[in-house]
């Protein structure tokens, strides 16, 4: 059922864009494994908020503090880290692959599509093709951004103009690094980035604990 669901969304995405990229292998993408981000690039910091109570629901939603992405998406993130390392900066991952069942739990806490993706449609995070990231310096200090993570106000919007020059520069530095690797940003969340062709990856419900061995 989930495979059919993913294929349906993929076909809808194909019809929406009206083209097929010749270098794009949909079958390979569907089989692409989840990998642990720190196994691909140990420089990237992990602060998986839904594995703690430090998130907007104040509830622990994940079974392990493990951040996974599809293999090629993790490689793109490594490319962004290579770029940022030239400025002595590091990515910090707040969320990555999110099991589908956790999406339902999130929905029971906040059943508002303005804040949480409807689990019947699935989140891009459920596909292992989206990542929430910020920046830290070499000492692990978070760089100031226009809003807190998961702050659902206009301050979180990419075009928010009321921030300090430093906050704007940090937001734009993060964007440049991710966009150069093919990611696209969500307009309402400075921290959220989608991998190319995210809709072609099927929704998964592998638990975080031990997902790398599956």
Which of the residues are catalytic? 189
Whole-number minimum distance, CB 157 to Zn ion, in Å?
14
Q: Are 208 and 66 in contact (CB under 8 A)?
A: yes
**132: contact with Zn ion by CB under 5 A:** yes
CA distance 116 to 112: 6
Minimal CA–CA distance to 70: which of 210, 198, 213, 208?
198
Size of the site for Zn ion (CB under 5 A): 2
Options 40-48, 84-92, 111-119, 129-137: segment touching Zn ion (CB under 5 A): 129-137
Tally of CA atoms within 13 A in the half-sphere of 151 that contains its CB: 12
Q: CB count, 10 Å around CB of 123?
A: 20
Nearer to Zn ion, 122 or 166 (CB): 122
Span of 33-41, 81-89, 100-108, 185-193 interacting with Zn ion by CB under 5 A: 185-193
Least separation in angstroms between residue 88's CB and Zn ion is 26
Considering only residues 76, 127, 192, 197, which one is a binding residue for Zn ion as defined by CB under 5 A? 192
Other CB atoms within 10 Å distance of the CB of residue 11: 13
Residues found near Zn ion in the complex (CB under 5 A):
132, 192
């Amino acid at each position: 059922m989930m495979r059919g669901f993913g294929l349906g969304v993929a076909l809808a995405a194909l019809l929406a864009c009206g083209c097929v990229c010749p270098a794009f292998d949909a079958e390979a993408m569907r089989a692409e494994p989840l990998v642990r981000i720190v196994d691909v690039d140990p420089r990237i910091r992990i602060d998986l908020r839904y594995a703690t109570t430090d998130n907007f629901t104040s509830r622990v939603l994940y079974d392990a503090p493990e951040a996974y992405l599809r293999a090629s998406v993790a490689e793109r993130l490594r490319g962004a880290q290579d770029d940022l390392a030239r400025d002595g900066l590091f990515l910090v991952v707040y969320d990555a692959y999110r099991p589908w069942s956790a999406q339902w739990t999130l929905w029971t806490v906040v059943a508002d599509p303005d804040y949480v993706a409807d689990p019947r449609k699935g989140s891009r995070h459920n596909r292992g093709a989206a990542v929430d990231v910020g920046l830290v310096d070499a000492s692990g200090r978070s760089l100031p951004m226009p809003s807190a993570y998961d702050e659902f106000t206009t301050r979180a919007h990419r075009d928010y103009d009321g921030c300090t020059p430093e906050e704007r520069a940090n937001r734009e530095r993060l964007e440049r690094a991710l966009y150069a690797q093919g990611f696209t940003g969500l307009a309402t969340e400075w921290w959220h980035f989608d991998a190319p062709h995210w809709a072609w990856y099927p929704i998964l419900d592998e638990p975080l604990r031990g997902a790398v061995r599956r």
